[in-house]
Amino acid sequence: MGTVLAGGTAGWLLGERLPVRVREAATVGVGLSTLVLGAKLALGTGNVLVLMLSVILGGATGGALRISVRLERLSQRVEGLFSGRPLAEGFLTASLLFCIGPMTLLGAIQDGLFGDWSLLAAKSILDGVSATALAAALGPGVLLSLFVILVYQGGITVAAHLLATSLAGFSPDSPAALELSAAGGAIVLALGIGLLKLRDLRPADLLPALALAPLFAWLFELWR
């Protein structure tokens, strides 16, 4: 919320005077940092086979469910309803950008389950840069998205924390937690590749891997 407030205010005041090359350079920096963070998380797996099965089957499931396509269509429909209304358009566009995506879900879950907010920190930098660009183009309506971030992202974090405290044996060092984090790292790698404009890997389609990773980890432990 702090980076969106700072970036949105700066973009609103600067308007179109902010050079495009500055925004692009900042986005590249965030993309590289995201790759490093994703690799660090993925390499923390305790069972490469679990990671592979989770990502492959999760990606296949997400592709079959067309998660990325559905999210894109939802964003386009909501934005279309508010086209031509500067304040509402800025609010809706920013809210969708900051809250609909794998990085929001992953970061909030990781924070709530393990108290690790490193992914949310990377996301906050990207959100601040994006808020600057959006506010420069769409005005102060972008700042209203702060309330959506608080309720949506904060709500996921609180729910994940309550879930972690209610699950016996679920700790940051448990196999299920390690494989959940590793699967999340693979998705973060896909996000970083997209930020660098190397290839669109549709990371939202990989989200089912987050549910499959703990399940496969538990099955492997049971089999052992």
Instruction: Tell me if 136 sits within 8 A of 11, measured CB to CB.
Output: yes
Predicted local confidence at residue 196, as pLDDT = 85
Cβ burial 140-155 (10 Å sphere, 16+ → b, else e): bbbbbbbebbeebbee
- pLDDT tens-digit series, residues 165-174: 776 556 667 7
- pLDDT tens-digit series, residues 29-43: 777 887 888 898 889
Q: What is the pTM of this model?
A: 0.75
Listed by start position, the domains of the chain span 2-223
Rounded Cα distance between 182 and 173, Å, is: 12
Quick one: average pLDDT of 122-131? Answer: 87
